[in-house]
Amino acid sequence: MTKHSIEPDDRGLVLPCPKCGQRNRMIYARLGQKFRCAQCHTKLGSPGEPIEVKTESVFDALAGQSTLPVLVDFGQNGADHAKWSHLK
């Protein structure tokens, strides 16, 4: 696992529950709503850190489906490549 525990894919953000470690997918269309762990029902907050997106298809899914503005960090040298998606 990398230092980024959140792994975006083309449907949502996959993040581990801080309590039990269960991996949960937070689908983009529901970002900003309340999520609970599927296993232990611990509340999962929206990610508060830039999300590292490795492929353009993931970015497109995130930017196109998220209901929140999302700061996306492309790769290691973040600042130069970070980009805001905009509310639709």
Chain residues binding Zn ion by CB under 5 A are: 17, 19-20, 22, 37, 39-40, 42
CB nearer Zn ion, residue 20 or residue 68: 20
Cross-sheet strand order for the sheet of 83-84: 51-52, 71-73, 83-84
CB nearer Zn ion, residue 40 or residue 68: 40
Taking the complex as a whole, the smallest distance from the CB of residue 45 to Zn ion amounts, in Å, to 13
Taking the complex as a whole, the smallest distance from the CB of residue 17 to Zn ion amounts, in Å, to 3
What distance in Å separates the CA atoms of residue 51 and residue 73, rounded to the nearest whole number? Answer: 6
Of the candidates 67, 55, 66, 74, the one whose C-alpha atom is nearest the C-alpha of residue 9 is: 55
